[in-house]
């Protein structure tokens, strides 16, 4: 296994933090669908997640397969480490 740079973990931690917020907001909005402020927060964090994902993938390759992430050339899905291996 190759050495993983510290930035890999920093960006992954940011992504995980945003994912946590999105999960919590989703659960809240399931029971409070008319809360406009929560919807705005959800949309803001969705935009932030896309930004972080793009940053991560541009440096370290795809996070998800099956059309959820683009691949570089050559095909880089097989490159390790995969997100669940760290």
pLDDT value for 68: 57
Q: What's the rounded Cα separation, in Å, for the pair 42 and 27?
A: 11
pLDDT value for 77: 58
Contact 48, 18 (CB under 8 A): yes
**Residue-level pLDDT, tens digit, the chain, 86 residues:** 568 889 999 999 999 999 999 999 999 999 999 999 999 999 999 999 999 999 998 898 888 766 556 556 655 556 666 666 66
Taking the CA atoms of 7, 71, 21 and 16 in sequence, report the sign of the dihedral they define. Answer: negative
Contact 19, 49 (CB under 8 A): yes
pLDDT value for 60: 86
The structure tokens listed for 60 are 């370290």
pLDDT value for 4: 84
Question: pTM of the full predicted structure?
Answer: 0.76
pLDDT value for 61: 82
The alpha-carbon radius of gyration of the chain (Å, integer) is: 15
Nearest CA-CA partner of 59 in 83, 41, 38: 83
């Amino acid at each position: 296994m190759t050495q993983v740079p510290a930035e890999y973990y920093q960006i992954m931690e940011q992504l995980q933090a945003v994912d946590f917020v999105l999960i919590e907001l989703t659960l809240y909005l399931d029971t409070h669908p008319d809360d406009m402020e929560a919807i705005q927060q959800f949309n803001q964090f969705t935009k932030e997640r896309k930004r972080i994902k793009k940053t991560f993938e541009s440096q370290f390759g795809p996070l998800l397969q099956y059309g959820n992430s683009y691949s570089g050339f050559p095909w880089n899905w097989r490159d390790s480490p995969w997100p669940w291996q760290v």
